Amino acid sequence: MAGSPIIAALFAQRVVVGVGDLSVSNNTGITLSTYALGSCVGVVAYDPVARVGGLLHLMLPDSALSPEKAASQPAMFADTGLPLLFRALLGLRAERKRVRLFVAGGANVLGGNSDSFKIGERNLKATATWLAQNGYAVARTDVGGTVNRTVHLDIGTGAIKLKTPSLNEAYSLAA
């Protein structure tokens, strides 16, 4: 019947990735989403052949800031969350050489020079350094500035939807 939803759409699910958390999936009916990336950084990883994806919402650059917190919530930090993300992806049969990356966030949402700790900038640097040291290339970024970002990854297609207060954009990590 015209206008009826397809079966897959009836069973599609959204998994919300909170601050300092991550999720991976090979379920093609899942969309991974994270909201309001300000100074935090979102790392989206996708293997288009295995149709496996993951999303990390890291909050701080270095687990040395709080080793106790890193032990209980490693996804909170770039240096412990990134290895955890990639181990989880490989566990779902993603292949390192096929993984494509999108990085978003790292903003100074307070604007101007009011972020004396430069958390967004430090998060981006820590993320870029870890990825480069481990041989991962980033396909696309939307980083810095002063706006929050929301990111959605469709596991079935590799489509990314990026939303800010002023725009909605779509990208693909499948190509």
Consecutive H or E run containing 123: helix 119-133
Q: What does the block give as tokens for 144? A: 């810095």
Would 1 be classed as within a structural domain?
no
Helix, strand, coil share (%) of the chain residues, nearest 5: 30, 35, 35
Contact yes or no for 150/37 (Cβ under 8 A): yes
Predicted confidence at residue 123, as pLDDT, reads: 97
pLDDT at 133 over 90: yes
Cα 111 to Cα 38, 118, 147, distances in angstroms: 11, 11, 9
pLDDT at 113 over 80: no
Q: Which sign, positive or negative, has the C-alpha torsion 165, 30, 14, 36? A: negative
Predicted confidence at residue 175, as pLDDT, reads: 80
User: In this structure, what DSSP letter does residue 27 have?
Assistant: -
**Residue 46, by phi and psi: left (phi above 0), alpha (psi -120 to 50) or beta?**
beta
Would 171 be classed as within a structural domain?
no
What is the per-residue pLDDT across 136-163, written as a single tens digit (0 to 9) for each?
Answer: 999 999 999 999 999 999 999 999 999 9
Q: Rounded mean pLDDT of the chain?
A: 93
Q: What does the block give as tokens for 159? A: 């489509």
Question: Out of 17, 32, 40, 89, which one is annotated catalytic?
Answer: 40
Residues, the chain: 175
Domain of residue 80, CATH code: 3.30.1330.200
Q: Which structural domain, as residue segments, surrounds residue 143?
A: 14-163
The span from the CA of 65 to the CA of 77, in Å, is 9
Give how many domains the chain has, as a whole number. 1
User: In this structure, what DSSP letter does residue 6 have?
Assistant: P
What is the per-residue pLDDT across 22-31, written as a single tens digit (0 to 9) for each?
Answer: 999 999 999 9
| Annotation marks residue 130 as catalytic | no
Would 40 be classed as within a structural domain?
yes
Would 76 be classed as within a structural domain?
yes
